[in-house]
Structure 1
Amino acid sequence: MQEEKVSGKIFDKAVLKRLLTFIVPYKFRFILLVGLILMGAVLSPIMPLLIKYTIDGPITNGDYPGLSKMLMLMIALLFSSSILTFFNTYLAGWLGQHIIRDIRVQLYEKILSLKLRFFDETPIGRLVTRTISDIETLSNVFSSGFAAIAGDILQLVLIMAVMFYTDWRLSLISLSTIPFMLISTYIFKEKVKKSFNKVRNAVSNLNSFMQEQITGMSLVQVFNSEDISFKKFLNINKNHRHANIQSILYYSIYYPVVEVISALGVGLVVWYGAREILNPAADVTFGTITAFIMFINQFFRPIRMIADRVNTLQMGIVSTDRILKVLDSDEFIQNNGSITDPIKGKVSFEKVWFAYKDENYVLKDISFEVKEGETVAFVGATGAGKSSIVNLLTRFYEINKGQIKIDGINVNDFEISHLRREIGMVLQDVFLFSDTIRNNITLGDNSITDQQIIEAAKMVGVHNFIMQLPGNYDYNVMERGATLSVGQRQLISFVRAMVQNPNIIVLDEATSSIDTESEELIQKAIEKLMKGRTAVVIAHRLSTIQKAHKIVVVDKGRIVEMGTHEELLKNQNAYANLYEMQYAAALT
């Protein structure tokens, strides 16, 4: 998926205002930084003046004691400037890193609260770009953006004032090249602004592509699509390279142009100054000419730096706009519930309608009830809506119409973390983090003891297998559990659900991807786990749900049959047809 295009003004006042709010917790340090930068700007014109007075005074008159005093003043000025530069650099960096830390924390906290619908529609690589690259761009905004621009502007004003105070004629001559500088700077700023937008888009596209392709590498290799994937990568990488080279080209043109314009100003000063010096009646001195040469270099440097800083600020505005779109997203889960009472396990769906997008309903008028301690199983063709029912129970998605109740209480009235803690889930697609088995079971919950982990593992029948691994429960399963088999990963996910001791257990085709031996272990564990608990099972193999208290047949988002295994077989309808198809397949 291609990155969205940036539209509208880059200098968006609303975005800029929001960006400044991140400074508020550090306003005193920011004010100190501005003060230090302004002090540095005030000191900058002093050195050329000292050089002028040294040449025209002690050096011209042979005043060695006076020369020594001037040298001491210059050394003191250099030392003071160096101290200011140190504190400016350190404080700006400190401020930038603390602010982007805060923004990154806010952004990740928001990502954790977003609905699954948001992740269905947003490439993961794009979110990674927002959290890493875009936020990193903001570091430069705070370290070399706002305060530094103010310092550069003050430095320009002070240098110009001192120049006119020193010699207004040389000032006019040396500043006569400013229109050329301003024109070239404006063109450069506009060109670089566009190229930076392309760079940010290219980075986001590259991140999205790499994340998707690496995650699906097994599929790419299974279907022999390496060449196709590589060609796509070459095209995206070419766009990334082109965007960066275009940006480099503009800098390569701009800096030499600035140097030429600056040199032209120096040349005009030297030409005019030399003519004046040769005129006995003129009052221009060698010291004045030397000072103006330094003034010109000092004057054009802030102009050049402002162009860079404005581009940095513009990049920050673009990145901020993208970050704010995530922070301001309304696709977050409303956690307005306050009930934290223990859940007993009665579940009921009352005329529930649900659509992932618009009004394309995948569940239509779903109603059923599961009593406390009962097992309900959902069967049906792929895409019938079985998994959607489970996702609604845990509020991964919000329903469009109807009500879902647990123990007679609307699920929206439960505190959401409490609700999900009371519902244990085992999914078909198991995700394990690159971490130890222990941490993949507890997911960082330090309240779960090793004894609880071991008891749950023994119940599943996986304890002996874990103890044979190097490090036992501290064995690192690597990314997505790559060092374990599918069955082993599924067994560990089952321990993960059991260790929470939930009152409702959800099994989403939890045995469809494992071997017969592992299935036997899980079936025994399921019987122990379901005892005294409400169980919601999405079944692929009908043989695993024959003992369920209620079997619900779902087709195209609607419930078409409901009853026990024996009752549904007698009806000779959808369930009986599914059962006969699986039975026939098992015999062949």
Structure 2
Amino acid sequence: MKNPSTERKLLNYALTYKNNILIGLICLIIAVALELTGPFIAKRLIDEHIVGIEDQWHEVEVQDSYTVSYNDNLYKREDRMNSGEDILGTAAIIQVGRSYYFTEEEIQFTGTRSIEGGNVVIETSDETTTAEVRKLSLNELYRFFQPEQTSIYWLLAIYVAILLVAAGFQFVYTYVLQKTSNRIIRKMRDDLFHHIQRLPINYFVDQPAGKIVARITNDTEAIRELYVKVLATFVTSFFYMAGIYIALFLLDVQLALYCLLVVPIIFLWMRVYKHYGGKYNTVVRSTVSDMNGSINESIQGMPIIQAFQQEKHTSQDFEKLNSTHFTYQRKLVRLSALTSFNLVNVIRNLAFVLFIWYFGSGALGAEGLVTVGVLYAFVDYLNRLFQPVTDLVNQLPLLEQARVAAGRVFELMSENGEEVKTEALSRYNGHIKFEGVSFAYKKGEYVLKNINFEVQPGETAAFVGHTGSGKSSIMNLLFRFYDHEKGMIKIDDRPISDWSRQQLRSHMGIVLQDPFIFSGSILSNVTMNDEMISREMAIKSLQAVGADRFIEKLPDQYDTVLKENGASLSMGERQLISFARALAFDPAILILDEATANIDTETEQLIQNALDVLKEGRTTLIIAHRLSTIQQADQIFVLDHGTMIEQGTHTSLIESGGKYHQMYKMQQGAKKQPAI
């Protein structure tokens, strides 16, 4: 099945809240329709109520709201006459320049006008007509406008009301769309974070933490801008332009067709920008991830960087990334600067040249039929047309940035995750069996070869060997951080592959050589916020491993808030908390992966004492370099380059005089070595 495109995936997320989006779009359509009625109202106001007094005026006998008293006669505009109303005579008002003139003759208004003496001369291509006229004073002119005042006020009031209602719908649209956009991003971030927790361990080995963080934070924030700002602008501009084109076609079909040339120009520019902007943004987003990874690594390794005086080298590495980011950001800025504002200005100017040519050469000539109101409406709509065009072009950088960021996010989400099954699993006894197990981190490079051993429930088994012998790999397989290639791993005679990773680990506890402490209190680090583990259980676990000896000296004791990774605690104290964490979950299988390697002898003795009490009914696996810590183990397995070379108790292995005996003698010799 073909993998959906980035745009399709973004649309699918949007469709999750399609009802809200539909409500927003309906409000937008209403707001745009109401707002675009403005020029039509202005056209009506100009043509019918302002310049509309230039018309034939009939002398009437009956006075009403549309009649005007002039020279002791009542006059009524031709388009205000009622059907069947008696006409006593016909006059006209005509504008020449900025002045209005009254004539008692019926005249034509089409043509070139001029005043010669007391006559108006109207010239057309066919004939020239004259009529005796009288110039209207300001007071006299005002009389002819008086019947239109009520209509003018009503139109203005309607226009204001329409603008207020349109503003209300625009507010609802903006609020609903932005609220929905933030909900979409919240869902996307949740999905992304949940997906990350399903990824296998080897993914995190191959990917720097900073790069993953950048995708969850920076890239999703860029996508948020897409939904909140970019798409809002595109949708608004689309409906706004559609409404303007409808209005233009209603006013003048031919000129509206000319204005349609703007659409293919914008489409072509978007294609060009997508090509170049996409390439540049891909580099920019990737470099941001690399920069985050570099910063994260530098902060974590700052003690080493400063201790070995590597500040200059670290800064140079970061500067290379920063320079790459700067270079491609500059290319994006240049691409936008050369086109966004300039492109719209060029199109706008060409449109107005076309507009002037069209009206100047034909429509406003001697035979022209275009009214001042139509002219005003066209100018208004043309001005309005280029605002959404400007908005569209200016959003292209953000659009491409969001598209590239979305591609990176969906690339991460397309990584194969593991099935999550959290159904409760009955506590198993802890009978562990490896049958012919082989495993390789890289295909063909086996780090474990045909491993066979068995640990009975309640036994303590230890694994020893030099670095790289495969001890930790055995624990990784048992925990199913990785899956083995050959053989079978069983717990209670059942293959561990029969359970989900979550079910398998639900009855296992582990303490690593380098314990990880989360931000929060000491108790929250033990309970891991699991409701099944009470405060009392957590305190008991801490006391069992002897951690209460240093905790009770702290100001807030068990509620003491720890810094990131427990920076305020010693390595031994952090290890004790990590050990208590494992014990609090009462695991059937407890794994200590070189847990005592970085702990002083006194703390190690505390752990040994706790283990003696707590290992009853629990299978305990220990990986240790210090052979003195595993002498009481029920079984000791000796590994060398991924193969099992010896197994037995401490006494039997010493008596056999093999590899274990050599390692033991070396450690004993090191202890007896006198201090210099």
What TM-score do the two structures reach when normalised by structure 2? 0.80
Q: Does 1:305 align with 2:391?
A: yes
**Structure number with larger C-alpha Rg:** 2
> What are the superposed Cα offsets for residues 135-182 of structure 1, whole Å, 9 maximum, x if unpaired?
223323333455754553343333223213313454466666766666
Greater length-normalized contact order (CA 8 Å, ≥ 6 residues apart) = 1
Query: Aligned equivalents of 2:655 and 2:382: distance in 1?
Result: 97
Query: Aligned equivalents of 1:182 and 1:102: distance in 2?
Result: 32
CA RMSD of superposed structures (Å): 2.6
Match of 1:490 among 553, 566, 575: 575
SS of structure 2 residue aligned to 1:356: strand
Aligned to 1:4: none
Matches within 5 A, 1:511-550: 511-550=596-635
Query: Aligned equivalents of 1:78 and 1:557: distance in 2?
Result: 79
Change in CA separation of 1:70 and 1:192 when aligned onto 2, cut-off 3 Å: farther
Aligned to 1:25: 16
Q: Does 1:99 align with 2:90?
A: no
Aligned-pair CA distance for 1:432: 0.4
> What are the superposed Cα offsets for residues 419-462 of structure 1, whole Å, 9 maximum, x if unpaired?
32321111101110111111111111122122212221221111
Change in CA separation of 1:531 and 1:205 when aligned onto 2, cut-off 3 Å: same
Letter in structure 2 aligned against 1:257: L
Letter in structure 2 aligned against 1:51: A
Q: Does 1:129 align with 2:214?
A: yes
Change in CA separation of 1:449 and 1:164 when aligned onto 2, cut-off 3 Å: closer
| Of 530-539 and 30-39, the range deviating more from structure 2 | 30-39
> What are the superposed Cα offsets for residues 198-220 of structure 1, whole Å, 9 maximum, x if unpaired?
32222222222222222222222
Change in CA separation of 1:161 and 1:335 when aligned onto 2, cut-off 3 Å: closer
Match of 1:430 among 515, 524, 529: 515
- Contact 2:463 2:624 (C-alpha < 8 Å) held by counterparts: yes
Aligned to 1:257: 343
Change in CA separation of 1:174 and 1:407 when aligned onto 2, cut-off 3 Å: closer
Matches within 5 A, 1:188-587: 188-253=273-338, 254-270=340-356, 273=359, 279-308=365-394, 312-330=398-416, 332-335=417-420, 340-587=425-672
- Contact 2:422 2:502 (C-alpha < 8 Å) held by counterparts: no
Query: Aligned equivalents of 2:536 and 2:523: distance in 1?
Result: 11
What TM-score do the two structures reach when normalised by structure 1? 0.91
Aligned to 1:68: 153
Bigger proportion of residues as strand: 2
Aligned-pair CA distance for 1:470: 2.0
Query: Aligned equivalents of 2:556 and 2:248: distance in 1?
Result: 74
Query: Aligned equivalents of 2:493 and 2:259: distance in 1?
Result: 84
- Aligned-residue sequence identity (percent) comes to 35
> What are the superposed Cα offsets for residues 227-246 of structure 1, whole Å, 9 maximum, x if unpaired?
11111111212222333333
Change in CA separation of 1:171 and 1:371 when aligned onto 2, cut-off 3 Å: closer
- Contact 1:37 1:147 (C-alpha < 8 Å) held by counterparts: no
Matches within 5 A, 1:71-82: 71-82=156-167
Query: Aligned equivalents of 1:268 and 1:496: distance in 2?
Result: 78
> What are the superposed Cα offsets for residues 314-373 of structure 1, whole Å, 9 maximum, x if unpaired?
44443333223332322x334569771222121111111111222221111111001111
Q: Does 1:50 align with 2:41?
A: yes
SS of structure 1 residue aligned to 2:509: strand
SS of structure 2 residue aligned to 1:23: helix
- Contact 1:174 1:269 (C-alpha < 8 Å) held by counterparts: no
Letter in structure 2 aligned against 1:563: G
Aligned to 2:101: none
Change in CA separation of 1:337 and 1:131 when aligned onto 2, cut-off 3 Å: closer
- In structure 1, stretches of 5+ residues that fail to align are 1-8
Aligned-pair CA distance for 1:561: 1.0
Count of residues in Structure 1 that have an aligned counterpart in Structure 2: 577
Aligned to 1:6: none
Matches within 5 A, 1:120-159: 120-144=205-229, 149-159=234-244
Change in CA separation of 1:276 and 1:284 when aligned onto 2, cut-off 3 Å: farther
- Contact 2:332 2:397 (C-alpha < 8 Å) held by counterparts: no
- Contact 1:185 1:304 (C-alpha < 8 Å) held by counterparts: no
Query: Aligned equivalents of 2:330 and 2:439: distance in 1?
Result: 48
Letter in structure 2 aligned against 1:550: Q
| Of 475-484 and 230-239, the range deviating more from structure 2 | 230-239
- Contact 1:339 1:414 (C-alpha < 8 Å) held by counterparts: no
Bigger proportion of residues as helix: 1
Aligned to 1:5: none
> What are the superposed Cα offsets for residues 362-418 of structure 1, whole Å, 9 maximum, x if unpaired?
111111001111111111111111011111111111111111111212122235334
Match of 1:14 among 5, 8, 26: 5
